[in-house]
Structure 1
């Protein structure tokens, strides 16, 4: 039987009132079945005559109990991580629920205990990736160094992330395009982009330190986010690191000139 590719079904997702941090909700752990008492009683009769190590029944029950010991939240996180790995290495079309469950070391049945449907998994994947980029921005920037340095370091932090895994970046573009083309899920692509811009603006605001700018900080942030998006696409097509490094320096210089501030004192090489 041909396996159905990973698709978003026709159920329309509900747009949130405003962009908010994505959270992965838990599932009632009681949904994971435990061996019934009747099964335990039956296996006692079989095990009485099975002396060569654990009996087949004991082995099966042990596996079920091991699954039950993993919380629903942990299982969801495992499946989200597995989905990201599969989508990054094999593409969105090949990321079936069966393939994702296999990558997570579980079954499709457990998958459907953890997630209501594939739409819910997709939303969790987008949320997880977005929050990871926010963490990268935070780790890359020291607000005490001022706005110019924050601009430089934020761009370099994101760029290092892009260079580490081509497949991961391509997967994010696939997800964005997929959401934009799927009725009822356009908001998810908008939410993702809004989160990127909001996180960047928040860090730049902390780095401003009372400096006066020629344009508003949101305008500067939008310019930088759009410029970095263009550089990422260019790199994914050409894979020219030298050209990209030069273009990044030009974007930092242009952003500082637009804002009317001095360029950063430290420019760290990407290599």
Structure 2
């Protein structure tokens, strides 16, 4: 590949690793398989990462960052149901555009639960943070508050998203997935209440 900056090598290896994990599972994601997918040499790999484990740890934040861009609405406009629908539909579009990323994430989550529980916890802490940011943004925009603690609403949203992800990956049924998105948005929006004088816009 010639002489390219370290960060560019790292990005190429991360992208290749995600493709390999999605197609072969984590067990099949050897260093050699990853560099072959990336079109690099083993020497190039070790110039960018100290070990395969270091690379694997970078995969989860990489996928989460791309999901965050897809989910958070910009600009913010519409009712609570509109905002939640837009965010969930953005995630669904992201999933449909690159399902390999989410298949890889499922593999990585199972790996983390078995081998690195703290990595799995950090993964879901990041998911919860993204959900809270979106919910707080929606509440402020619509001048509403959450009738349940925002951590509870965020956990509900994550549970709905997990089900949406697995269901679509198994069935590839776009029509059903879009109906689920709209129903989920209505369910979560049902927990929002108008802000009364002196109250904040989120719980």
| Contact 2:144/2:193 (8 A) holds in 1 | no
Which secondary structure does the structure 2 equivalent of 1:212 belong to? strand
| Contact 1:126/1:192 (8 A) holds in 2 | yes
For residues 7 and 98 of structure 2, the distance between their equivalents in structure 1, rounded to whole angstroms, comes to 26
For residues 131 and 157 of structure 2, the distance between their equivalents in structure 1, rounded to whole angstroms, comes to 9
Structure 2 residue 136 is matched with structure 1 residue 202: no
For residues 155 and 86 of structure 1, the distance between their equivalents in structure 2, rounded to whole angstroms, comes to 27
The structure 2 residue matched to 1:75, chosen from 3, 9, 14, is: 9
| Greater than 6 Å deviation, 4+ residue runs | none
Tell me which protein shows more helix as a share of its residues. Answer: 2
Which secondary structure does the structure 2 equivalent of 1:145 belong to? coil
For residues 163 and 171 of structure 1, the distance between their equivalents in structure 2, rounded to whole angstroms, comes to 14
For residues 161 and 16 of structure 2, the distance between their equivalents in structure 1, rounded to whole angstroms, comes to 28
**Which residue is equivalent to 1:187?**
118
**Which residue is equivalent to 2:157?**
224
For residues 256 and 122 of structure 1, the distance between their equivalents in structure 2, rounded to whole angstroms, comes to 36
Q: What TM-score comes out, normalization by structure 2 length?
A: 0.84
Number of equivalences: 192
For residues 146 and 25 of structure 2, the distance between their equivalents in structure 1, rounded to whole angstroms, comes to 43
Structure 2 residue 63 is matched with structure 1 residue 129: yes
Structure 2 residue 195 is matched with structure 1 residue 258: no
RMSD: 2.0
Q: Deviations over 1:51-95 (max 9, x none)?
A: xxxxxxxxxxxx8xx43xx22222212211211222223332222
Gaps in structure 1 of 5+ consecutive residues: 1-62, 262-271
| Contact 1:141/1:150 (8 A) holds in 2 | no
**Which residue is equivalent to 2:36?**
102
Q: Deviations over 1:108-139 (max 9, x none)?
A: 1221221111111011111111111111123x
- Give the stretch that moved more between structures: 147-156 or 121-130: 147-156
For residues 144 and 197 of structure 1, the distance between their equivalents in structure 2, rounded to whole angstroms, comes to 22
Gaps in structure 2 of 5+ consecutive residues: 195-203
For residues 5 and 177 of structure 2, the distance between their equivalents in structure 1, rounded to whole angstroms, comes to 44
Query: Matches of residues 32-181 of structure 1 in structure 2 within 5 Å?
Result: 66-67=2-3, 70-138=4-72, 140-181=73-114
